[in-house]
Structure 1
């Protein structure tokens, strides 16, 4: 009886390991290629937490004269000029401290502005989890991914991100979501229209796990 139970446990463990390995492989293949560029849309949302994201969002905004930009997940002390961001079309979101928080912040901004076509700028390996949370928070919107490097990180960060993706799919991200305590609409501050010198590179905003 004991031998049968041990054999069954080993078989279950092997199946779980195989499923995890296969899922991780498929995830790595999915994020390794950036895919085609996102079609132009009226909304752009940058999820902070890594290099090139804010710069790419600002570049997309410059290419789309009628678009609006949200930079989600910046610290309370960050002002638009710190990011090289100026103009009434730019909004900073200060409440998000996680990907789930980013999604909540983007959803509040989209409802406030009436936008339902939004280009999402974040790291390539982070994009699947970001889209999962965004579609959960705002199911009636169309999100176009615009990933930036890194697309495929080193093994340890890749495995960590895959675990977070599985956790988010199971709804566990709600257990670790800790907003900064400012209600979303009040936290969305439009950038001032006064021109600022944005030639210097923007500082690294607070990361969103």
Structure 2
């Protein structure tokens, strides 16, 4: 015996909420996609395409290892009088002062008098912690920060969070691949930029949470150092 149509249960009340949730999810996805795109454009706007000497000198210079030419460029800044001392942060434990000396033969006197090595840092966050300790021990109030252009935004986030009372002056190192062709045409460079953007976002989120009292002690997307091919470039930034 079939029920009259008026007595049959209706699926309409269930269908309406289901459609409503789908609309909410679609809207959230669209907003997230727009936010990611806008954030990525903002990140790219911070990446220098050419190198430019700092507009002013500073008390000290810190170079974060992990990319080609970072240490040699930092040594040139030290030699030109842009800072009184240089910290090379993130030196692999297997790299000794003699290894670095052999790779920087033009600046032997500076290496012996004015360069400090940090072997404790294993990622950008610990770079910032070791740099803070070094700067405070010497009473430095301003630092020139040397790292690759794609790494600079995240480095400044971490360093400024660790040392809000110290003036940071970026010096971005631009690699050969970046100079020779647009970054988006090289698959390796494209992956590097996208990966660095995700790390930058993670650092921004962690720092903002820490500012409101929610400190996340473990940094996302960081890898431990690996044995270097060249001295003093061991950190995986």
- Give the TM bin, normalised by the shorter chain: 0.7 to 0.9
2:195 is aligned to 160
Deviates more, 1:65-74 or 1:123-132: 65-74
Q: Does 1:206 align with 2:234?
A: yes
- In structure 2, stretches of 5+ residues that fail to align are 1-16, 105-110, 184-188, 208-215
Equivalent-residue separation in structure 2 for 1:95 and 1:161 (angstroms):
22
CA change 1:82–1:95 in 2 (3 A) is same
After TM superposition, the structure 1 = structure 2 runs for residues 122-133 of structure 1, keeping only pairs within 5 Å, are 122-133=147-158
CA change 1:102–1:30 in 2 (3 A) is same
TM-score (norm 1): 0.81
CA RMSD of aligned residues (A): 2.5
Q: Which has the higher helix share?
A: 2
Aligned-pair distance for 1:88?
A: 2.2
Q: Does 1:108 align with 2:122?
A: no
Aligned-pair distance for 1:149?
A: 1.4
Q: Determine which of 15, 19, 35 is the counterpart of 1:3.
A: 19
Runs of 4+ in 1 over 4 A off after TM superposition: none
SS in structure 2 at match of 1:174: coil
Equivalent-residue separation in structure 1 for 2:157 and 2:82 (angstroms):
29
CA change 1:155–1:202 in 2 (3 A) is closer
Aligned-pair distance for 1:128?
A: 0.9
After TM superposition, the structure 1 = structure 2 runs for residues 186-205 of structure 1, keeping only pairs within 5 Å, are 203=231, 205=233
CA change 1:202–1:81 in 2 (3 A) is farther
- Contact 1:54-1:83 within 8 A present in 2 as well: no
Aligned-pair distance for 1:67?
A: 1.0
Q: Does 1:22 align with 2:38?
A: yes
1:176 is aligned to 219
Which has the higher relative contact order, 1 or 2, with Cα contacts under 8 A spaced 6 or more apart?
A: 1
Q: How many residues align structurally?
A: 189
CA change 1:18–1:176 in 2 (3 A) is same
- Contact 1:73-1:208 within 8 A present in 2 as well: no
Question: Which of the pair has more CA radius of gyration?
Answer: 2
After TM superposition, the structure 1 = structure 2 runs for residues 68-83 of structure 1, keeping only pairs within 5 Å, are 68-83=85-100
Aligned-pair distance for 1:52?
A: 0.5
Aligned-pair distance for 1:48?
A: 0.2
CA change 1:169–1:134 in 2 (3 A) is same
- In structure 1, stretches of 5+ residues that fail to align are 181-200
CA change 1:157–1:65 in 2 (3 A) is closer
